[in-house]
Structure 1
Amino acid sequence: MRLVKIDDHLSIMAQPSLADFARLAEAGFGRVINARPDGEEPGQLGNSAEANAARDADLDYSFLPVTGSTITEADIRAFQQALAATKRPVVAHCQTGLRALTLHVLGEVLDCRMSAGDVEAFGVAHGMDLSGAARWLAREATRVPRVRGFFDPRTGSVQYVVSDPATKCCAIIDPVLDFDEKSGSTATSSADALLAYVETEGLTVQWILDTHPHADHFSAAPYIKKKTGAPMAIGAHVTDVQLIWKDIYDLATLPADGSQWDRLFADGDTFTIGSIEGRALFSPGHTQASVTYLIGDAAFVHDTVFMPDSGTARADFPGGDAKALWASIQAILSLPGETRLFTGHDYQPGGRHPRWESTVADQARSNPHLAGIDEAGFVRLREARDRTLPMPKLILPAIQVNIRGGRLPPPAANGTRYLKLPIDRLEGAVW
């Protein structure tokens, strides 16, 4: 068991054995961070075995699987959070220790505790080649726009602040209004975190963009608009979704003309965030209204594809269509391979940390719903999988809010707002 001490809190090692977990506990460590995806080589312990060994040794454990070519800022921040969560010393490993050290060093540079020019020398001092980390930093420095993701663990949703470094203008994409279905309470903590970041970074909000009427959270777009004055926008086919759900909820007086938003984007419509051009791509399938926002080298795809280890989005909501989803995904995959894709949800398969950024090339190569599959195979897979999925727990409360542009129903005579729950209108309950 060879440890490389980085500082008083962090040490790095290669793949530990099962027996090493007890030794690490005896040496005073409090957490093991596993930065290695399962299945990299025959006989690898894997996440489940490591989690069990850590539990038996009374060690905290974090699963942060990454590969050298797919590290993102979300991975780096998750590594930092795992370090901060344990007061006792932490040991992080991958196959050799290099990826674990890379995650640490990149965080040090992003937080200005280390210069990018010192990275490779730091690696040499610890017996590691960090040239890959230096290349990552150089590449990220050229990325436009700047994207900051905010993960909401209650709903598995990801919200984004997308900014132009040159002008300090930004867009907020898919903001969440907190809702507790047990008490019926709303709160603005998630949206306030976005606004706090905007203020800290000195940004000006130019757009509030929703990708579609969400089925798993309330949109905080009206709250953000009230705070910033920025216009709200969504895809033009939101009117199709309004018509479907207006009938389901029996909302006779609801205008189904999209007037709840300031701008409705048709396919191909453009807009600007500071000096960066954005374009709306009609991406139906999950819903009839879904759009992808292509902004610089980043595409915000929400419920089309998830991370490569999580497949694709369901297409069984009213108005959904697996064939349409396939066509939308193919249009996204026709973008340049290095295009960054930002998904709207992550459900943390295997208990790993939340992730939300991939590339077109990553998806085409590694997504099991897409790699080596044709349209007919995808439709069969998607429809069979959808039949096994329960409806999202917030679909009935959320959509009646989101077809109003994120506004709650008007108050009744007693001043209280009420949500309607249509009974037996949605098919396919998984009991």
Structure 2
Amino acid sequence: MKLTPITDRFSVSGQPEIADIARLKADGFATLVNLRPDGEDGSQPGHAAESQAARDTGLGYSFIPVRGSNITQADIDAFRSALAAAEGSVVAHCKGGTRALTLYALSEVLDGRMPAAEVIAFGQTHGFDLSNAAAWLAAKAQQRPHVQGFFDPRTFSIQYVVSDPTTKQCAIIDPVLDFDEKSGATATTSADAILAHIAREGLTVAWILDTHPHADHFSAAQYLKARTGAPTAIGSHIADVQTLWKDIYNWPELAADGSQWDRLFAPGDRFMIGSIEARVMFSPGHTLASITYVIGDAAFIHDTLFMPDSGSARADFPGGNARVLWRSIQDILALPDTTRLFTGHDYQPHGRAPRWESSVAEQKRTNPHVAHCDEAAFVALREARDRTLPMPKLILHALQVNISGGRLPEPEANGRRYLKFPLDVLTGAAW
């Protein structure tokens, strides 16, 4: 194991053996960061073995599996967090050290501590080729739009701020209103973090967008509308979902016409975020009303496809359909291969850091639910998997808020708000 010191508290290395990990603590390191996806080659110990070796020797450990050609903003954020949380010196490894130094250099540039023009020379100083880092930064400078994801660990949801760098106009997509089902408490911590980012970046909110009525978290759309004055929007088929759930909730006074939002988007509709055109794709299957927002070179696909190592979204909610979901996925995969895809949940398989950005090409190549899979195989796989899944713990809480545009129930005579949900209506779900 060859260690290359970069600063007095950060080094990079190639693949360590298990015996090397056991010596790192004695060598003065506090944290090991593993950047290698499992299975890159047959000689690597793998995440489980490295994690156990780190625990055995008292090292902190982070698993951030990345490939050099697919580094995303989420990977950089996770790498920054791992370094910030370390109580002492850190060694980050990949196969040879280049990915580790690439993530370090990108963090330095994005945090303003290194000019982008110095990245190549910085790598050469330490004996590494950082041309991929320079290319990543050049592509980021040209990308339209800029996308910032906000991961909510309570619900594994990702909220987005997508902005036009030219006009500083932005849209907020799928914001979360915090809710604790154990105490019944609500909070605006997640939404306020979005507002703080918008203020720091000098952005103006043009839209507050929902991709569909969520079953696992409350929408913060109404809170953010009150704070920003921006219009809210969702797909026009929300009326179908409202009609379905209006009966489930025995809620005759609910207006099942989508009037709870300022705009209802029909499939193919176009709108602007500053100077960037956005268009709407109808993407049902997970719900009756799911849509995809294609904004510049980015598509916000929420509960259709997850990251390639996580497959696809479930299709067994009321109104869901696996065959319809497959066709929606095919529409998304017909976008250009370079289209950036931003998913709505990440459940961190194998304990890796959260990720939420992929590409059409990456999904087609490596997602087992679509690569080398036809419609019949997908439907069989999806339906079999869905039969094993319990319902989301907040589905009956969240839908009555979210089909009303994120509005909490009105206070009753005593000033308190009350949720109402039916018993024994979602029959057949796993417990």
Aligning the two structures, in what range does the TM-score lie when normalised by the shorter sequence? over 0.9
Shift of 1:429: 2.5
Whole-angstrom distance in 2 between the partners of 1:231 and 1:135 = 37
The corresponding residue for 2:242 is 242
The corresponding residue for 2:421 is 421
Which residues in structure 2 correspond to 1:391-406 (within 5 Å)?
A: 391-406=391-406
Shift of 1:413: 1.8
Whole-angstrom distance in 1 between the partners of 2:10 and 2:109 = 16
* Alignment-mate amino acid for residue 277 of structure 2: E
Whole-angstrom distance in 2 between the partners of 1:286 and 1:202 = 35
The corresponding residue for 2:155 is 155
Whole-angstrom distance in 2 between the partners of 1:57 and 1:116 = 37
* Alignment-mate amino acid for residue 326 of structure 2: W
Q: Secondary structure at the match of 1:30?
A: strand
Are 1:191 and 2:184 matched, yes or no?
no
Q: Secondary structure at the match of 1:380?
A: helix
Whole-angstrom distance in 1 between the partners of 2:428 and 2:214 = 19
Which residues in structure 2 correspond to 1:17-416 (within 5 Å)?
A: 17-416=17-416
* Alignment-mate amino acid for residue 31 of structure 2: R
TM-score computed with the length of structure 1 as normaliser: 0.99
Whole-angstrom distance in 2 between the partners of 1:91 and 1:302 = 34
Q: Secondary structure at the match of 2:161?
A: strand
* Alignment-mate amino acid for residue 20 of structure 1: D
Whole-angstrom distance in 2 between the partners of 1:221 and 1:334 = 30
Whole-angstrom distance in 2 between the partners of 1:429 and 1:228 = 39
Whole-angstrom distance in 2 between the partners of 1:91 and 1:244 = 54
Whole-angstrom distance in 2 between the partners of 1:261 and 1:295 = 20
* Alignment-mate amino acid for residue 363 of structure 1: Q
Shift of 1:428: 2.6
Q: Secondary structure at the match of 2:300?
A: strand
Whole-angstrom distance in 2 between the partners of 1:127 and 1:67 = 20
Q: Percent identity?
A: 69
Gaps spanning 5+ residues in structure 2: where? none
Shift of 1:180: 0.4
Q: What's the CA shift string for 1:207-241, capped at 9, x where partnerless?
A: 00000000010000000000000000000000000
Whole-angstrom distance in 2 between the partners of 1:53 and 1:322 = 41
Q: What's the CA shift string for 1:279-303, capped at 9, x where partnerless?
A: 1111000000000000000000000
Whole-angstrom distance in 2 between the partners of 1:319 and 1:83 = 44
Q: Secondary structure at the match of 1:6?
A: strand
Are 1:7 and 2:7 matched, yes or no?
yes
Whole-angstrom distance in 2 between the partners of 1:329 and 1:140 = 26
Whole-angstrom distance in 2 between the partners of 1:113 and 1:155 = 33
Q: Secondary structure at the match of 2:320?
A: coil
Shift of 1:420: 1.1
* Alignment-mate amino acid for residue 300 of structure 2: F
Shift of 1:98: 0.8
Shift of 1:416: 1.1
> Which 10-residue stretch deviates more, 111-120 or 400-409?
111-120
Q: What's the CA shift string for 1:123-148, capped at 9, x where partnerless?
A: 11111111111111111111000000
* Alignment-mate amino acid for residue 33 of structure 1: V
Whole-angstrom distance in 2 between the partners of 1:421 and 1:207 = 31
Q: Secondary structure at the match of 1:409?
A: coil
Q: Which runs of 4+ in 1 moved over 3 A?
A: none
* Alignment-mate amino acid for residue 270 of structure 1: R
* Alignment-mate amino acid for residue 293 of structure 1: Y
Whole-angstrom distance in 2 between the partners of 1:399 and 1:101 = 45
Q: What's the CA shift string for 1:40-80, capped at 9, x where partnerless?
A: 00132000000000000000100000001110111011101
Gaps spanning 5+ residues in structure 1: where? none
TM-score computed with the length of structure 2 as normaliser: 0.99
Count how many residue pairs are aligned between Structure 1 and Structure 2: 431
Shift of 1:39: 0.2
* Alignment-mate amino acid for residue 3 of structure 2: L
Shift of 1:376: 0.5
Whole-angstrom distance in 2 between the partners of 1:86 and 1:238 = 45
Whole-angstrom distance in 2 between the partners of 1:234 and 1:51 = 43
Q: Secondary structure at the match of 1:179?
A: strand
| Cα-Cα RMSD | 0.7
Whole-angstrom distance in 2 between the partners of 1:430 and 1:29 = 45
* Alignment-mate amino acid for residue 267 of structure 2: D
Whole-angstrom distance in 2 between the partners of 1:134 and 1:278 = 29
Q: Secondary structure at the match of 1:195?
A: helix
Q: Secondary structure at the match of 2:280?
A: strand
> Which 10-residue stretch deviates more, 280-289 or 126-135?
126-135
* Alignment-mate amino acid for residue 382 of structure 1: R
> Which 10-residue stretch deviates more, 362-371 or 420-429?
420-429
